[in-house]
Amino acid sequence: MKLKISQVGESVLRQPARPLSAEEILSPPIQQLIELMRDTMQDAPGVGLAAPQVGLPLQLAVIEDRLEYHREIPAEQLAARQRVPIPFHVLINTQLSITQASEVAFFEGCLSLTGFMALVPRALAVHVQCMNERGEPRVIEAEGWYARILQHEIDHLNGTLYIDRMAARSFMTSMNYTRLWQEKAVEQVRAELGLS
């Protein structure tokens, strides 16, 4: 079964999400929500989904970047993005800190902004403290595309969307991204779009 994904303009996407208690994490409704979010993310398909995106202002997100999503992407693009498969996992009550402040910009999209993409600068590496689906503490050190996914999903838990961070002139439909820009290096895209 899959859940309805909230689209930009719904206030739940702009609220800070609340933390979950250890008791809540282990409760049947939250365990069921995690399963439904997993199904919804895989069905979309997407590499991450945060609870506010399914209408719930809770500090809970799921992430999974499957090898099958990489098959259509040229090897040099995967390498430039430092994108490698990430197994399914759950993030609860997250605290993110930047460990490598230098930023890199790549196109990203969001399941709550269907049909659009933009260049978004993100820190290269992050450190995340959170809990897993059993309420156990977890520490994540991430870099590259995984660090980007974490920043994107944890932004959702703070009511922030990629459009708040994007290079505004690069905002475009996913169709035009695929048609016109996908094959180009980011430096070339920046030059052609008038982004210094």
Which residues in this chain contact Zn ion in the complex, by CB under 5 A? 110
Q: How far apart are CA 150 and CA 117, in angstroms?
A: 18
For the bound state, the minimum distance from the C-beta of residue 22 to Zn ion, rounded and expressed in Å, comes to 27
Is 153 noted as a catalytic residue in this protein?
yes
- Cβ neighbors of 13 (< 8 A, separation 6 or more) are 6, 52, 53, 112, 156, 159, 161
Contact 115, 136 (CB under 8 A): no
Closest CA to 61 of 76, 51, 71: 51
Q: Name the residue with the smallest CB distance to Zn ion.
A: 110
153, 183, 187, 192: the active-site residue: 153
For the bound state, the minimum distance from the C-beta of residue 108 to Zn ion, rounded and expressed in Å, comes to 8
Query: Closer CB to Zn ion, residue 34 or residue 61?
Result: 61
Query: Closer CB to Zn ion, residue 30 or residue 110?
Result: 110
Query: Closer CB to Zn ion, residue 46 or residue 92?
Result: 46
Active site residues: 153
